[in-house]
Amino acid sequence: AGAPTASPSAGPSSDSPTTGPSVLAAELDRLGVETVLAVGDVGAIDGAGVEIASRASSVDVPDPATPLDDVLAVVAGAEDVAATATARAAGAEVQALPEGVVDLQASGEAIDALHASTTTDTVLIGSSFSTVRDAAWSVAAARSGAQLPGGGQRFFPDRRFVALYGAPGTGALGVLGEQDVAATVQRAADVAASYDAASDRPVVPMLEVIATVAAGAAGDDGDYSNELSVESIEPYVDAAAAAGQYVVIDLQPGRADFLSQAKRYESLLSRPNVGLALDPEWRLEADQVPLRQIGGVEAGEVNAVSTWLADLVASKGLPPKMFVLHQFRLDMLRDRASIDTSRPELATLIHADGQGSQPDKQATWRTLHDGAPAGVAWGWKNFYDEDAPMLSPEQTMADVSPTPDLVTYQ
């Protein structure tokens, strides 16, 4: 709410209807002030005959031996000058955000500043921060210093992602597995670069790695899903991080559930450049088999995964994660309106991954948008072999409306 102030040089003769010692004395009385922190020369108040001691039950003077030098005070521009001055006078380190910025995750400059600070405690000053849904996590994520390519920690709408999809070691499931790790990262960069001229946003290369692969045989655990080891995926995550690329690990659980499979990869999901994708096409019931039936998942199971993932992000002070939900039929995400998209730690994206003729794909795109949860981003998939024809980067940007936030190649 601010604080009453007076010019140190002001005296009785400079008093006016809106400023000066008498107005300050009246304001202190109106506020029922009990403790006064006087900063600078307050002789002007004494000269006006204001008896501060008589108006307060006590006068507390901060102990200069215990300054707030382990506190970082973050202020949104010049929003609260008095509180900022008080924090600075008390010994706190003050960091003003760039003008107009109140989202710590949106500003690379703010993230750099918070990360560089050697303080251990953080205070957000100003009413603009009242809209922050989880201030403790927001500060921790910013102070981690991790940023997305292009700066900041927000996925959308500031950038667009272009990804290669597939499983390591095989080209049968997508182009990601058609070459070794180094060549895959380079190919992802080249495909993303083909969008630079057509995209109205900076383009970031991405890898979508199938971590659990739906299988035609039950396997030893009976779940019709082959789980890749963390060690087999790590080289892709490491190489992508070094090249400034994002990674999403994709789950095809068969008869298993998504949450139990996601937890297998907690060590990878604890890295700042790794997100998670759920592929309900391959989430089967106890009597179903991959490629014989198309699976689906209830909103409750999706929410259990998103809650676990968001809690992981919050507990480790990680930047937000991309959370991808694949869909090409409405019954793949049952009760979709109940899917929780409220957690600020996640950027939820619905990925339309149907294949075939362009009229059919466009019809699916429009159908999926109808009644979708508010605030989700959108992904489109281009198939090299199955689409008739596959759209070029220029066509993808011009013909798919609304323009997708993520374009994946399989």
Q: How many CB atoms lie within 10 A of CB 49?
A: 10
* 392 domain-assigned: yes
Pick from 221, 232, 205, 206: which is nearest to 261 by CA? 221
**Cα(161)–Cα(112) distance, integer angstroms:** 23
Residue 69's pLDDT is 84
Separation in Å, CA 22 to CA 10, 43, 52, 387: 11, 13, 12, 79
Pick from 57, 84, 104: which is nearest to 3 by CA? 84
**Cα(212)–Cα(264) distance, integer angstroms:** 10
Same domain, 284 and 370: yes
Would you give the distance in Å from CA 162 to the centre of its chain? 18
Residue 288's pLDDT is 87
Please report, as a single letter, which amino acid is at residue 26. A
**Cα(22)–Cα(6) distance, integer angstroms:** 10
Tokens of 154: 């927000």
| 403 φ, ψ (degrees, to nearest 5) | -60, 130
Pick from 229, 291, 223: which is nearest to 257 by CA? 223
* 66 domain-assigned: no
pLDDT tens string, the chain, 410 residues long: the values are 344 444 433 333 444 555 555 666 677 667 665 655 555 555 545 544 444 443 333 434 445 455 788 999 999 866 678 888 888 888 999 998 888 788 999 999 999 999 999 999 999 988 888 888 899 999 999 999 999 988 999 999 989 999 999 999 999 999 999 999 999 999 999 999 999 999 999 999 999 999 999 998 999 999 999 999 999 999 999 999 999 999 999 999 999 999 999 999 999 999 999 999 999 999 998 888 888 889 999 999 999 999 999 999 999 999 999 999 999 999 999 999 999 999 999 999 999 999 999 999 999 999 999 999 999 999 999 999 999 999 999 999 999 999 999 999 99
Q: How many CB atoms lie within 10 A of CB 62?
A: 14
**Cα(325)–Cα(341) distance, integer angstroms:** 12
Q: How many domains does the chain have?
A: 3
* 2 domain-assigned: no
* 372 domain-assigned: yes
Pick from 231, 238, 228, 229: which is nearest to 207 by CA? 238
* 150 domain-assigned: no
Residue 47's pLDDT is 42
Same domain, 187 and 83: no
Please report, as a single letter, which amino acid is at residue 59. V
- Supply the range of the domain harboring residue 77: 71-144
Same domain, 268 and 379: yes
Same domain, 221 and 341: yes
| 161 φ, ψ (degrees, to nearest 5) | -110, 140
User: By three-state DSSP, how is residue 408 classified?
Assistant: strand
Report yes or no: 167 and 213 within 8 Å, Cβ to Cβ.
yes
Separation in Å, CA 188 to CA 17, 58, 109, 174, 407: 67, 67, 28, 13, 12
* 149 domain-assigned: no
- Quote the pTM value: 0.84
**Cα(155)–Cα(200) distance, integer angstroms:** 15
Pick from 240, 249, 248, 250: which is nearest to 189 by CA? 240
* 239 domain-assigned: yes
Same domain, 176 and 105: no
Report yes or no: 25 and 45 within 8 Å, Cβ to Cβ.
yes
Same domain, 87 and 197: no
**Cα(248)–Cα(406) distance, integer angstroms:** 12
Same domain, 28 and 103: no
Same domain, 49 and 109: no
